[in-house]
Structure 1
Amino acid sequence: MKEKILDVKDLCVNFKTHNGNVQAIRGASFDLYKGETLAIVGESGSGKSVTTKVLMGILAKNGEIASGEALYKGVDLCKLTKKQFVAFRGKEIAMIFQDPMTSLNPTMTIGKQIKEAVLEHTKLKRHDAKLRTLELIELVGITNPEERYRQYPHQLSGGMRQRVVIAIALACEPKILIADEPTTALDVTIQSQILELIKSLQKQIGLSIIFITHDLGVVANMADRVAVMYAGKIIEYGTVEEIFMSPAQPYTWGLLASVPDMANKDIDLYSIPGAPPNLLYPPKGDAFALRSEYALKIDFEEEPPLFKITDTHYAATWLLDERAPKVEMPESLKKRAQAMAKEALAYGSK
């Protein structure tokens, strides 16, 4: 049986604004196992990045954890002070952000930036820290480490800079790596190289990864399990095959069907109608009900629980209740979604 390394339970996060409290995370629960990759997917504003910022202790000043817990090795991350997180961050959990240029200091050489991360959390002397830095530069696939050590971020390509960011994240040998849209700012070819690098490093080091993305092709390539997030809640989760081939939540149907079909470019792109709710005033019942043509009367009155489909697949939709009418994913959406899923899963298995 796999070892559970992280357990997030009923996490609630609010942001104080002039207009009131934005309930950004509304009872999100998920777990992470040793050596696996969990992808968290959903539209912008669904709460993906906020959730991971809680795990890193880097919530904005107006953000507060209202309730819930995030257990790592028996420690509740939600209760750590800023000072405690300084010692914890990097050594136990590290993060890669979207744009490497915003993560790197343009006035410092990349060698110095990586070495500072090494010195921060290890007892290595400066000479040994430099040797470790050169090892890390080589580990992330950058050639001529001695030369690169002396260069500045602007002297490197976008792909090289992201490799440097990964080297910094791995400097203290963390157990969990959070990757928040790490390839969005890169072109397709470089994106593929960075994803392969992360997969390779995971096997070498035994990392557990939380991968934040809106790109379902990336999910198929990277993930073991998928958590679908909407309006601050996890509304469906399961193995990558279950989510791609047997989705149960109408929102997940829409996400899969809205991926462009590159083999049939003449087909109009599907778009989920409407927009996510304003979390200043979260709707009663199922937050997706107003956008779903399959919503039942109860969806507007009561929030659905997570129904068990298999031992690994759960979804929050009243359509799974034994009293509900039998509604399946429309054939038109199913064909589009399954074609995309088969192509993505085939790519992911390479």
Structure 2
Amino acid sequence: MSEKILEINNLHVSFQTYAGKVQAVRGVSLTLNKGETLALVGESGSGKSVTCRSIMGLLSKNGSIDCGQIIFDGKDLLSKTNKEMQNIRGKEIAMVFQDPMTSLNPTMTVGKQVAEPVILHQKLSKSEAMKKALELFRLVDIPEPEKRLKYYPHQFSGGQRQRIVIAIALACNPKILIADEPTTALDVTIQAEILDLMKSIQKKVATSIIFVTHDLGVVANIADRVAVMYGGKIVEIGTVDEIFYNPQHPYTWGLLRSMPTLDNEEDSLYAIPGSPPDLLDPPQGDIFAQRNQYALTVDAYYEPPMFKISQTHYASTWLLDSRAPEIKIPQSIVARQQYFKFKKQSFKDKRG
């Protein structure tokens, strides 16, 4: 039985805007186990980043947590004061953001920036902290680490800057590392290197990872479990194999069909029709109904519960109700499943 390190229960987060109250996260519940990589996947605006910022206590001033619990190591983070959260952020839960340049101070050498959280949280001397920074540079594979500790952020490539940000996040050996779209701004080759690095680091330091992305293909090789989010809710959750090989929610089907493959026979990439819901006034019934070509009459009136498919696999769609007609998985997804299997085997071969 896996040991939970994080548990989110019925989390509701909203933002007050000039247009009204945006219900950004609506009843999210999930767990993160020790040493696990959990991917949060979904289109922009689905609530992924807001969920993560809620864990970190980093919501903007107009944001508020309306109800719910975020239990970390047996304690509810929502009951912590800002000062108490400052002691947790960076030390026990760390976060890597999408653009490394916004996370790095352009006027300070990267060595000092990596050493800073070590001095703050671990109370080491400057010389000891710099030794730790050097170890971290080696861990994240920065070439010529002794020399490059004295460099400034602009002297590194985008991929190397992201490695430095990961080094800063790992400086205090956090129990949880949250990576919010860490590869989106990078080219495909560098993206693969960063993903490989994160999986390698996880094995070495035994941290738990929450990986946020809009691209299901990115998580194929690094995630243990996947939570698919839409309209501020989790609509499907399961192991990575269950989500890729036995997807049950039409939205997950759409995300899979949107994945490009090397042998794509279609003239253009599939795009889910329509646009995400307006969370100022969420629709009644199933949140995905207006974009779902398989929608049933009941979808317009009642929100579907989380149907249990296996001990680890759940999906919120009326298509799983015993009274619903049987819908076959779109054929175009089968090709992507074969491609996923090929990519996964290639990744294993590469890692030995």
TM-score after normalising by structure 2: 0.96
Question: Structure 1, residues 12-36: CA drift from partner, whole Å, max 9, x if none?
Answer: 0000011110000000111111111
Q: Which residue of structure 2 lines up, in the alignment, with residue 256 of structure 1?
A: 256
How many positions carry a matched residue from both structures? 349
Residue 184 (structure 1) aligned with residue 181 (structure 2)? no
What do the CA deviations read for 1:187-216 (whole angstroms, capped 9, x no partner)?
A: 122111111111111000001000001222
Q: What does residue 216 of structure 2 align with?
A: 216
Aligned to 2:122: 122
Alignment of 1:1-350 (within 5 A): 1-264=1-264, 266-331=266-331, 333-350=332-349
2:58 counterpart letter in structure 1: I
User: Residues 344 and 282 of structure 1: is their aligned pair in 2 closer, same or farther, counting only changes over 3 Å?
Assistant: farther
Percent of matched pairs sharing the same residue = 60
User: Is residue 41–residue 227 contact of structure 1 (8 Å, CA) maintained in 2?
Assistant: yes
Mapped to 2, the partners of 1:157 and 1:326 lie a distance apart of: 51
Relative to 1, partners in 2 of residues 1:152 and 1:217: Cα closer, same or farther, differing over 3 Å? same
Distance, in Å, in 2 between the alignment partners of 1:330 and 1:109 is 52
Aligned Cα root-mean-square deviation (Å): 1.3
Secondary structure of the residue aligned to 1:200 is: helix
Report if aligned partners of 1:163, 1:194 keep a CA contact under 8 Å in 2: yes
Q: What's the CA shift for 1:94? A: 0.3
> Which amino acid is the alignment partner of residue 162 of structure 1?
Q
Return the alpha-carbon distance in structure 2 between the equivalents of residues 251 and 344 of structure 1: 23
Amino acid at match of 1:244: F
Report Cα offsets for 1:101-120 as digits up to 9, x if no partner.
Answer: 11101010001111111111
User: Partners of 2:266 and 2:277 in 1: how far apart?
Assistant: 32
- Cα separation, partners in 2 of 1:147 and 1:172, compared to 1, 3 Å: same
Note closer, same or farther for the CA distance 1:340–1:284 as it changes in structure 2 (3 Å cut): farther
Change (3 A) 1:129 1:261: closer
Q: Give the secondary-structure state (helix, strand or coil) at the position aligned to 1:303.
A: coil
- Letter matched to residue 294 of structure 1: Y
| TM-score, with length taken from structure 1 | 0.97
> In the alignment, residue 341 of structure 1 is paired with which amino acid?
F
Task: Give the Cα separation in 1 of the matches to 2:231 and 2:310.
Answer: 24
For 2:128 and 2:109, the matched residues in 1 are separated by 18
CA distance in 2, matches of 1:336, 1:270: 13
Distance 1:267 1:347, change over 3 A: farther
2:5 and 2:272 mapped to 1: Cα distance? 35
**Contact map agreement 2:42 2:215 (CA 8 A) in 1:** no
Once the two structures are superposed, residues 264-310 of structure 1 have per-residue CA deviations (whole angstroms, 9 ceiling, x without a partner) of 35543211111110000011111000111111111111110100001
